[in-house]
Amino acid sequence: MTKEIWRLDATAVAAGIRSGDFSSREAVSSCLQRLDEVNPQLNAIIESRADEALAAADTADKAVVDGAELGPLHGVPISVKANQDLSGWATVNGSESLKDNMASETSPCIQNLLDAGAIVIGRSNTPEFSVRWETTNDFYGATDNPWNSELTPGGSSGGAAASVAAGISPLATGTDLGGSLRVPAQACGVASIKPGRGRVPDFNSTDPAEPGLGFQLFNVNGFFARSVRDLQLGLPVMSAGDWRDPWWSPTPLQDGVKHPHKIALVLDPGGSAISEQVQSGVITAGKLLSNAGYEIEEVVPPALEEALDIWRTICLGEIVTSLKPAVGDICGPRMQRCLEHYSAMLPKGFSEASMVDAHARRRGVLRQWAEFFLDYPLIVGPVGMQPPFSRDADLESLETSLGVIDSQRLTVSINALNLPAATVPVGVSGGLPQVVQIIGPQFSEMRCLSAAAAIENQVDPITPIDPR
């Protein structure tokens, strides 16, 4: 049984440990063995401490024997993205300059998982400073896409998504500033939840200063799983409040909206043409949701172009005006090229006043979307409008960099508007996964996950997958 536990989702692992079908040590050992087998090729996990994980598993098993109260993730192996603080581990965030950036305390959302019984088996790879849709850096190297090593696993949480897809851990944490939970989910064929701001507490003691307002609003913590039920299990855990995050809100997880209901199906968000491989996945999702009783209407939400411009102005503006001066001299050549491209992508005539204006315009767009949600309580559409791109394609030229952002227009708009979104696989086409995102109004994460479960209940699992 030990060799096969790595194939199970977190819900099944937790149930097996609780019932005594197998121990936490067996579950952790199984995932560590899988890590040893596939990570040399994938490079999804950059640091693992097997002895510590096994010792924690033994403690978890003793609690079961003693009849202690068990948390919902008791004994379940997880991985933690290397830009989230974990006490006693360095928050390297893809940069050699941060290899000694030791965390003295654990980020609230990660501590919530540990308090629920989860056991960390490793840290997942990121690009430098987690600001690319790719996962490679000059210190730890590149993470492979388990479906095709020639393609990106997405970023910046590509290591986390790849580890889940390949069976290294059933759950992996990540962050999302402009798609970093959803883009890797599409690339690797796994489920994810990007909460809205205020749902999951956020704080890193290793941050040298408070982030800018745009980063505070747009960046959130979430996680990947191989099943929607794992997201439904883990989100309430991760969402427990913490005084260190003033943005956290005690809003109930259940929003009271009855299911099923009307859904806006976005087959083409505009801009660059959507690929047939991606669009057919969205069409499939619409059919599956219709089968489940949802009312489907093809319609595009309002002001997408303006939402994209708002995200680009605020987020790239803060990267260029704050992050670039701080790290420009210590980052590697890939990151330096990335920062050059971001500078060139800023709107014509950009100034810090442009960001102030973008924040003001943002409220008007939020109002338009709030009205849209009155008629369409959920939106279903693509993550990226193209399949995963080839390694480092985002750095080939300014044109390709612009193309990547334009392809993610629906995705980054959701960050600009601070909305929740779940991803769920709908199938495989052309040897690559098809994944859609389900978007709702603020604090409707469980509504999004309910629709994701309605899709998942009608399709066969596509992971774990052996690296190719």
Tell me whether strands 119-124 and 45-47 are parallel, antiparallel or unpaired. Answer: antiparallel
The confidence score (pLDDT) of residue 364 equals 98
| Domain extents in the chain | 2-456
Report the C-alpha gap between 270 and 261 in whole angstroms: 25
The catalytically annotated residue of 156, 157, 169, 192 is 156
Which residues does 339 contact at the CB level (< 8 Å), separation at least 6? Answer: 319, 320, 323, 324, 328, 331
The confidence score (pLDDT) of residue 2 equals: 53
Of these residues, 180, 227, 413, 444, which one is catalytic?
180
* Three state DSSP letters for 222-270: EEEECCHHHHHHHHHHHCCCCCCCCCCCCCCCCCCCCCCCEEEECCCCC
Residue holding tokens 């379940």? 76
Q: How far apart are CA 84 and CA 203, in angstroms?
A: 9
Residue 1: what pLDDT?
A: 47
pLDDT attached to residue 385: 97
> Which pair of structure tokens corresponds to residue 130?
């987690």
Going from the C-alpha of 360 to that of each of 196, 213, 277, 314, 369, the distances in angstroms are: 19, 13, 37, 11, 15
**Mean pLDDT per 10-residue run, the chain (468 residues)?**
84 98 98 98 98 98 98 98 98 96 98 98 98 96 98 98 98 98 98 98 96 96 98 98 97 84 95 92 98 97 96 97 93 94 92 96 98 97 97 93 94 98 98 98 97 98 97
Q: Is the peptide bond prior to 260 cis by the omega test (within 30 degrees of 0)?
A: yes
Residues 6+ apart with CB under 8 A from 279: 267, 268, 382
Task: Say whether 172 sits in a helix, a strand or coil.
Answer: strand
Backbone angles phi, psi at 313, to 5 degrees: -65, -45
Q: Residue written as tokens 């600001």?
A: 131
Domain 2-456 carries which CATH code? 3.90.1300.10
Active site residue: 23, 30, 48, 81, which one? 81
In 3-state terms the chain splits into helix, strand, coil percentages (rounded to 5) of: 45, 15, 40
The span from the CA of 404 to the CA of 178, in Å, is: 12
Is the Cα torsion angle 161, 243, 256, 365 positive or negative in sign?
negative
How many other CB atoms are there within 10 angstroms of residue 260's CB atom? Answer: 16
Measured CA to CA, the distance from residue 296 to residue 124 in angstroms comes to: 37
To 5 degrees, how large is the angle CA 175–CA 180–CA 182? 110
Helix (H), strand (E) at residue 17: helix 10-19
Does 81 participate in catalysis according to the annotation?
Answer: yes
State the pLDDT at residue 255: 83
pLDDT for the residue numbered 132: 95
Q: CA-CA distance, 98 to 94, in Å (whole number)?
A: 8
Is 3 labeled as catalytic in the residue annotation? no
- Asked about 180 being catalytic, the answer comes back as yes
How far from each other are the two terminal CA atoms of the chain, in whole angstroms?
A: 25
Q: How far is CA 231 from the centre of its chain?
A: 12
